[in-house]
Amino acid sequence: MPNILTKKSFWLVAAAVVILTIVTAAAFLLKPAAPAADPKLYVFGALQKTIETMKEEGAKQRDLVEIQKLFSGIRAEASRQSLSIGLIEEGFSFGAPGLRIEADTNPPGRQAETRFSVTMAGFPLAGATMYLEGDILSAEAPLLFRNEYGIRLETLGRDYNQSAFASLLGLKLHEGLSVSLWPGKADKAAMPSWLVEAGRLFAGEIAVRKTEDREVRVNDRLRLCEVYEMQAGREAVVRLLNRLRDGLKEERLFRAALEYQSAYSDTGWSADGPDAAFGMAADLPDGDLDALLFIHDGRLVRAELHLPLKDGEGDGLLVSIQIGGDENLIDALWIDAEAGGYSIALKYGGEYVPAESRYTAYLVVYGADPDDGEPADFFRASGWYAGNLTENNVSMLFDILPDSDGAVQLSLSGALRHSAAQKTLSADFGQIYVSGPDFFRQFTAAYRLEPLASPVFAARKPAMLFDLSAAAAGALIDEIAGNVEGILALLAMFM
């Protein structure tokens, strides 16, 4: 089985994502032109047209669009979500266990309350509640601890590092770690200004020229395409990676995650964090970035990218992208990347039948490690949804590491229903199967989303967790550990 978490394969994927993201960002900064007027503007216009066409095709998938709009619309106001999961299995003295979660959320008032309960034979056995008021997250769990404790999410890293828990647990967080669980006011689809600027500068350093038209294979179908060669010098690529580094350093969650990875993982990254990590990436290119771009019917449908790499990495970084199925661009997407014998690939396919409101799709991700030989799948997914059916109208299958000894499979089928008039969305899955090398379990699940009639939340006054003294923090840890041990012993009696 390929080791997809190796350092080389990480930078392989990272480099491919960086190049594709920046080229796409640059495309939307340039005004399209006719081929003869400016080949570069024409190519970037073709990329724009590809993305716009895929959006238009996606908007025609009526039921899926309605479901997404309904979900977003209900969640934007005060709403209630509920999820129940039950295990179907014999052998439990007092019935099979289950879990129920009920969440009330009021985004305009920045208030939320989530209730968790463990059930036995459908009856509540134990529970816990989490509250969110502004940026104060608090919890109460009577079976684990007596009081309600809270933390301030905006200053999470600093507060934790200055608390007794940091020394008791022997773990530090990034000082500037800050978390927001509420949607921001800015347009989420808008690119950060630093990314737009990086794209603009990189676009100015790209050279494009027209070459001979030819037939190429796009997702197993031959198409006659206009062909363009694109080139960016090594120094331009290095400058791009450095700009990316400087921009991402301003993204607090990214920096915190990378610094945590540097300090506590075995990837071999330097403890200096993002500077050293992106220094490694900027040092990888060993030549110019070359690409062949294939345009069919005014749209970019295939691209082949090549970037020489240092340290004898074979033919360097090779990336291939193919877009478009038999009928629509949105029906297929293939991405392959390879460097130094490591490879990773993604294949997606789908089809929408308007008359039946039926949608089918599959996704396969596979890779290869030079030490493991042949490529192998490490994730597969497939499913279908039929909006014209009222019962059993959705089915999904997921395979994780299917070619390994630890393969795990999840399958589920049931009914997905929605009503714009009543503002409700629900899903009932009567058959959920999870299986692995040494286990098989069957579950049921039910989900419902609806408006919250009375969005009134009681004011909370939790004890702030990170203000506890060393003695109180140690006592709380001991209390939780003792209660967990008692709960596990109690559960063993019922099984």
pLDDT (tens digit per residue) in 93-150: 556 778 899 999 999 899 999 999 987 766 777 789 999 999 999 999 988 998 999 9
Write out the two tokens for 199.
């794209």
Q: In this structure, what token pair is assigned to residue 470? A: 């060393």
Q: How far is CA 247 from CA 40, 191, 284, 341, in A?
A: 26, 12, 19, 31
Write down the pLDDT at residue 266: 45
Question: Do the domain assignments include residue 190?
Answer: yes
Q: Considering the domain boundaries, does residue 25 fall inside one?
A: yes
**Residue 472: per-residue pLDDT:** 95
Of how many residues is the chain composed? 495
Per-residue model confidence (pLDDT) at position 118: 84
- Asked if the structure places residue 64 within a domain, the reply is yes
- pLDDT for the residue 340: 72
Per-residue model confidence (pLDDT) at position 268: 41
Backbone angles phi, psi at 253, to 5 degrees: -70, -40
Strands 317-323 and 332-339: antiparallel
Tokens matching residue 267: 């990837």
Residue 380 lies inside a defined structural domain of this protein = yes
Stretches where the chain sits below pLDDT 70 are 1-37, 90-95, 121-122, 184-191, 251-283, 311-314, 369-373, 490-495
So what's the pLDDT on residue 237? 86
Query: What does the alpha-carbon distance between residue 306 and residue 295 come to, in Å, rounded to a whole number?
Result: 18
The pLDDT of residue 119 is 79
- CB neighbours of residue 74 within 10 Å: 20
Residue 422 lies inside a defined structural domain of this protein: yes
Asked whether residue 210 is domain-assigned, the answer is: yes
| DSSP code per residue over 67-126 | HHHHHHHHHHSSEEEEEEEEEE-S--TT--EEEEEEEEEEGGGTEEEEEEEEEETTEEEE
Instruction: State how far the Cα of 336 lies from the Cα of 341, in Å rounded to an integer.
Output: 13
Show the domain range for 453: 7-134+182-233+287-461
Residue located via tokens 């629900």: 426
What is the structure's pLDDT at 368? 75
Indicate whether 163 belongs to any domain: no
First-last CA distance in the chain: 36
> Could you tell me the two tokens for 312?
């004898």
Residues pairing with 366 in the sheet:
345, 377
pTM > 0.85: yes or no? no
**Three-class DSSP category at 133:** strand
pLDDT digits (tens, 9 = 90+) for 247-293: 777 766 566 565 555 555 444 444 445 555 555 666 677 788 899 99
Number of domains present in the structure of the chain: 1
State the Cα–Cα distance between residues 79 and 130, nearest whole angstrom. Answer: 16
Residue pair 282/297 in contact by the 8 Å Cβ criterion: no
- Residue 317 in any domain: the answer is yes
Q: In this predicted structure, what is the pLDDT of residue 28?
A: 61
